[in-house]
Amino acid sequence: MAPEAQAGRQPSPAIIFDTLNAYQRTRALKTGIELGLFTIIGEGNTASKAVAEKCGASERGTRILCDFLVISGFLTKEGNSYGLTPDSATFLDKRSPAYMGTVSEFILSPNLVENFDHLTEAVQKGGTAGDTKPLEPDHPMWVRFARAMAPMMAMPSQLMAQLVDPTKDKKLRLLDIAAGHGLFGLAFAKQNPQVEVTAVDWPNVLEVAQENAQTAGVADRFQTKPGSAFDVDYGTEYDIVLLTNFLHHFDVGTCETLLRKVHAALKVGGRAVTLEFVPNDDRVSPPQAAAFAMMMLGMTPAGDAYTFAELDRMFRHAGFGRSELHELPPTIQRVVISYK
Amino acid sequence: MAPEAQAGRQPSPAIIFDTLNAYQRTRALKTGIELGLFTIIGEGNTASKAVAEKCGASERGTRILCDFLVISGFLTKEGNSYGLTPDSATFLDKRSPAYMGTVSEFILSPNLVENFDHLTEAVQKGGTAGDTKPLEPDHPMWVRFARAMAPMMAMPSQLMAQLVDPTKDKKLRLLDIAAGHGLFGLAFAKQNPQVEVTAVDWPNVLEVAQENAQTAGVADRFQTKPGSAFDVDYGTEYDIVLLTNFLHHFDVGTCETLLRKVHAALKVGGRAVTLEFVPNDDRVSPPQAAAFAMMMLGMTPAGDAYTFAELDRMFRHAGFGRSELHELPPTIQRVVISYK
C-alpha cells in the first residue's frame, strides 16, 4: 500500500498483518510450482476437484491454495472455475517455452533464505550475518544457480543482445564475466554468426555454460577461462565485456578493481555492458530494482543495488569514458553501456 | 498485482520475483520493530545516520532497511529524510496508545511459521502437516498469544462492544468463550457498569485475562471458568456469548457441537456474537479475510475462514434463528450476531 493511499482514511493495521504474513505468499507460490498446479490449470482443469485429482492433493487444500493464489494475483476465478493470469500462463505453465518455475529452487534454497533469520544482526553490522561461504571459490550453489536461473534469463539475454548488437553483421569478440549458465554471451552468438564468446567462471559452473553452448549450436565459437573473475587472465582486445548480475555482490572499491581489469581487456572503443538492478537516485523506485538492496544486505558482506550515478562513477574511476543507462522492458533490470 | 493490471501489457515475471521474495518483507518489518526504528523516526530522527545511531546499527544497514520499508509502504521518504506513514505512526511507534509491535512476537513465533515449511504436504493431505500440539490443553503458546495479541485487539474490542451494546444502560450477563487476553468481554464491562463477564479459557491463559480485568478496573464484575470450551460447564441465562477468533480453528461439525452448547447457555432472545475473518461467497474477497483460510490450512487440521452463508448454516443447525453480518471498519474482520 502506497503512503498516499493512507491519506484520508482511518489508520488501519491491515498492512502490518499483510506484511507479517507475506512469507505465506512465498510458500504458497512455491507449493503451487511444486504441485504443477499452474500446468494442470493451463491444461484445462479449472474446478478445484479436478485440479486436486491431477495434483494428487486434497480438494480442501487445493481449494484454499487456489483461492490464495487468486488473492495473490497468480490465478483468476470466475464462479468456481480457476484460470491462469497472462503472467502465470507465460512463466509458470511447464508447457510454455518461458517456464521459469525452476527459479524457486534457487531463490528459496534454505541457505539463502536462512540469511534473513539474522536480518536484525545484518542491519546492526551492515552486512550479512549469515553464511558467506557461497562467495568462496567453487561453491556448489553457483552450479544450482546456473541451472535453476537460466529460464529466467532467456528473455533478458535476448533483449540485451538485440540492444547491444542491433545490426548483427560485425565480428565481435565478447568476454562474459561470471557467465554462470552462459546465456547472456550465448544470446549474442546465436543472433550473430560472427560473435566469439569467452566465458569466465568457476570450472564447475562453466560445465553448465558449455552444455548450453552445445544446445545453442554455437560451441565452436564458445571458449572458457576457468577461475575467479578477480584472478584469471582475461586476454585483451575484446569488443564487448558483459557484467551481468555480478557487481551487486561487492563494495565500490572491489567493483572498481574489477572494472580496471575489464577496461584493460577491452579494445579502444570497446564497451562494458552491465545488467543490474539499478534503482533511481531516490533508492526507492522502481520498487523491484530498489528492493534488491535488501537481498544484498541479507546475503553479502557489502553488496548493494547501485544507482546509475554510482555505477557511472565506478566506471569513470576505472578509466572508462561515458556510460549510458538503458531500460530493458519488460524486465525489471536495466543495462549500463560504458565506453572505453 | 490484480489480474486486470496484466491486461494490455507484455507478460512479466515481476510478480513471481516479488512473491518469491515476499518473505523478506516479513523479516524486514520484524527487524524494524525489533530495532525500535519506527519509534526512533517518530521521535524526529529522520536521516539514516541519526536513525542508525539511535538504533545501535550500521548506517548502511539502516539505510537499506529504511528504503525497503519505504518500498513496502511503512515509511515515507523526502530527499534523504524518512518519516512515518499514518499507519506506522498509529501502530508501530511505541509512544502511540495503539502500538501493536508485540504482535510480531506471536504471529512470527517459529512454531507457527515453520508450519509453512510443510505447506505442500498440507495441501496434499488437506490440513496442517506441522505441529498440532498448540491445539492441546494448556499449551503455553496461548499465553504468549494472550499477551502479544492484546494490543491488536484493543480497537476491535471497543468497536464490537459499541456495535453490540450501543445503549449501555441495561444489565447484561456476558460469556466470553476462549477469552484469551479477555479484552472483548472487558470492553463491554468498561463501557457499561451493568455488564458482568464470565470468561472461559485454559487456567494459564485466564491469568492474563484476570490481570487485564484488574487493569481495566472491572475485576469485581469479572469471573472465570477454567477449562476447555468444549468441556466446561458454561452456566445458563446469558444475554450475550462472545465467540471471537475461535470457530476458524475447527471443522463444521466441531463448530456445530460447540454452538449447540452456546445456544443452551443463552437466555431466550440472547445473542451469540462472533468475530471472524469472513470472506465473501467468492472466497477471494475481501483479500485479507479470504487469505486467512491459508493461515488455517497451514496451522490447523481442519480450520477455515468461513463465509457468512456457512456460519449462518452452522448457527441454524445448532438451534439459532437468524444471523446478521456486520462490518467492523477499519478492522479487517466482521461480526456475526445470531439470535436465540
Q: pLDDT tens digits, residue range B16-27?
A: 999 999 999 999
Partners of B243 in the beta sheet? B177, B274
What whole-number distance in Å separates Cα of residue A299 and Cα of residue A293? 10
- Residue in B closest to A153 by C-alpha: B13
What whole-number distance in Å separates Cα of residue B125 and Cα of residue B112? 18
What whole-number distance in Å separates Cα of residue B316 and Cα of residue A130? 54
Interface A–B counts its CB contacts (< 8 A) at: 281
Q: What is the model's pLDDT at position A135?
A: 62
B93 touches chain A (CB under 8 A): no
In whole angstroms, how far apart are CA B14 and each of A107, A133, A234, A333, B19? 14, 28, 34, 10, 9
- Across the interface, do B282 and A107 touch by the CB < 8 Å criterion? no
What whole-number distance in Å separates Cα of residue B287 and Cα of residue B304? 15
Residue B295: is its pLDDT beyond 90? Answer: yes
Q: What is the mean pLDDT of chain B?
A: 93
Percent residues over pLDDT 70 in chain B = 96
- How close are the terminal C-alpha atoms of chain A, in Å? 43
Give chain B positions within 8 Å (CB) of A294.
Answer: 24, 28, 64-65, 68
B120 touches chain A (CB under 8 A): yes
Residue segments in chain A with a per-residue pLDDT below the cut of 70: 1-8, 132-137
Q: What is the model's pLDDT at position A2?
A: 44
User: Which residue from A64, A125, A332 is facing B61, i.e. has the nearest CB?
Assistant: A125
pLDDT tens-digit series, residues B236-291: 999 999 999 999 999 999 999 999 999 999 999 999 999 999 999 999 999 999 99
Ordered DSSP codes for B256-272 = HHHHHHHHHHEEEEEEE
Ordered DSSP codes for B205-221 = HHHHHHHHHHHHT-GGG
Helical residues (DSSP H) of A21-58, grouped into ranges: 22-34, 37-42, 48-55
Q: Please answer whether residues A150 and A209 qualify as being in contact, where contact means their C-beta atoms are separated by less than 8 angstroms.
A: no
Q: Please answer whether residues A232 and A200 qualify as being in contact, where contact means their C-beta atoms are separated by less than 8 angstroms.
A: yes
Q: What is the model's pLDDT at position B112?
A: 87
Residue B13: is its pLDDT beyond 90? Answer: no
Residue in B1, B33, B67 to test binding to A, most A beta-carbons within 10 Å: B67
Q: What is the model's pLDDT at position A170?
A: 96
Does the structure's ipTM exceed the value 0.85?
Answer: yes
- Across the interface, do A61 and B24 touch by the CB < 8 Å criterion? no
What whole-number distance in Å separates Cα of residue A213 and Cα of residue A190? 9
- DSSP-based helix, strand, coil % in chain A, nearest 5: 50, 15, 35
User: Which residue from A21, A30, A283 is facing B67, i.e. has the nearest CB?
Assistant: A283
C-alpha cell at B106: 506471536
What whole-number distance in Å separates Cα of residue B155 and Cα of residue B144? 20
C-alpha cell at B181: 487476553
C-alpha cell at B319: 438451534
Buried-state track B278-298, b at ≥16 Cβ within 10 A, e below 16: bbeeebbebbbbbbbbbbbbb
pLDDT tens-digit series, residues B197-237: 999 999 999 999 999 999 999 999 999 999 999 999 999 99
B264 touches chain A (CB under 8 A): no
Give chain A positions within 8 Å (CB) of B253.
Answer: none
Residue in A4, A9, A27, A74 to test binding to B, most B beta-carbons within 10 Å: A27
Distance from CA of B236 to the nearest CA of A (A): 36
Q: Which of residues 27-86 of B touch A (CB under 8 A)?
A: 27-31, 34-35, 55-65, 67-68, 70-74, 76-77, 85-86
Ordered DSSP codes for A272-338 = EEEEE----TTSS-SHHHHHHHHHHHHHSSS-----HHHHHHHHHHTT---EEEEE-TTSS-EEEEE
Residue B75: is its pLDDT beyond 90? Answer: yes
In whole angstroms, how far apart are CA B228 and each of B200, B201, B231, B251? 8, 6, 5, 17
Give chain B positions within 8 Å (CB) of A307.
Answer: none
Q: Please answer whether residues A182 and A242 qualify as being in contact, where contact means their C-beta atoms are separated by less than 8 angstroms.
A: no
